[in-house]
Structure 1
């Protein structure tokens, strides 16, 4: 199922309404969808490099809006809507574990790491932020920074290096951003140990 979903998402890049599809995929990725918007963003940016920063803006804005939808699901409709969605994707156990072990400070860090490198998946963190009643303005600022950094970094690399960087992005960018997320977590843990 996942492979078919991935192929379908990739096929949207060649359509006239690709930008609208990018916005939709970025929106639902942050709250309920499994396939990341990068799958659509990459071929669109390579096909129209003059629009790469426009696509980064669309993906960032739609992703933040989708994150707000995930936050609202967690805040107002966890039991009735969000919990079944998480169970459907097999993320309910991860969510419940995070919910019971993560305080506000750790959640702030997860907002950045999930937006930047999908660690943990962004839909889990957006819903968790709502359940934990993280202030909406704080959530939005974190999402804009993390998602904007991800999409604008992709835009910069694709604009500068074009097709030659595509294989690197598809295979290694997730690892690099994951390493950045791990470093951020390590810095946070070191700071907490030194502070108290």
Structure 2
């Protein structure tokens, strides 16, 4: 059994825990402003384990993610000097500079796309605050982008439900390594 399969099995057990929605909300909030692990890793197995609650979980994930995004925005407004060394040390300086330049060109649309994409959303929330992007469009774009992403994940996996679980487990190693490869490609593309 590979590393991603073991991780998947552990997350699936956590997803069935009675306090799992609290963990999901906390993870979603933290990921939008400072934590590196996306909430999809909990939302997906929770949607498979409880397809009847998948849309509720997507809503929870969206709202807590946008709330965390507001914290990221606040960090950008008042504490950019404090977090910039962390951004540089974690190798996200290129992504941060790219986010700043994209805000100049596309504004609202950058937040919308960043909220939906696998690009680290926290970089965009901090950059939006640092550049004093208008608050209301930031929140609306975050709600739309994050909501579209999380409702899509939850809906697809709830549709598959428990019958998708064996398929996911069988291919988890491939999915995990392809995800790592995709992240490496994105990081390399951003840094070049």
Q: TM-score range by the shorter chain?
A: 0.7 to 0.9
Deviation at 1:19, TM superposition (A): 0.4
Where in structure 1 are there 5+ consecutive unaligned residues? Answer: 179-196
| Equivalent position of 1:106 in the other structure | 106
- After superposition, the CA RMSD in angstroms is 3.0
Q: Are 2:75 and 1:76 aligned? A: no
TM value normalised by structure 2: 0.76
**Structure 2: how far apart are the matches of 1:26 and 1:32?**
10
Structure 2 residue aligned with 1:85: 86
Q: CA deviation at 1:164?
A: 2.6
Say if 1:32 and 1:85, in contact at 8 Å, map to a contact too: no
Q: How many residue pairs align between the two structures?
A: 169
Q: Is the 8 A contact 2:31 2:65 kept in 1?
A: yes
Query: In structure 2, what is the equivalent of residue 135 of structure 1?
Result: 134
Residues 39/103 of structure 1: CA separation in 2 closer, same or farther (3 Å cut): closer
| Distance in 2 (alpha carbons) for counterparts of 1:57 and 1:22 | 11
1:18-167 → structure 2 map (5 Å cutoff): 18-80=20-82, 82-99=83-100, 101-118=101-118, 120-162=119-161, 163-164=163-164, 167=168
Q: Where in structure 2 are there 5+ consecutive unaligned residues?
A: 183-192
